[in-house]
Structure 1
């Protein structure tokens, strides 16, 4: 079994901006995230990216 490697990165963000970072291997999670954000804060401005190998 391969070893899990954790790395940290500094993210600079503008004042008043919130960032949600996540990783998964299932496209349904993208739909779930969209529904959670738009349902919780209908006026929220956000972008979601999905990278498939």
Structure 2
């Protein structure tokens, strides 16, 4: 559930940012970019936690 909320908020922010900068993208493209960014963030968080468990941080 929380990933869905992050994804929706990020997609909305990307869409609004595009509108504000006069470089609008379709909502579908913003949603796809948000999926990529959320996945990248989750992978980074997983690696960070894994790194700590191994005792490197």
Query: Shorter-chain-normalised TM-score: which range?
Result: 0.3 to 0.5
The normalised TM-score by structure 1 is 0.33
Whichever structure has more helix as a proportion of its residues is 2
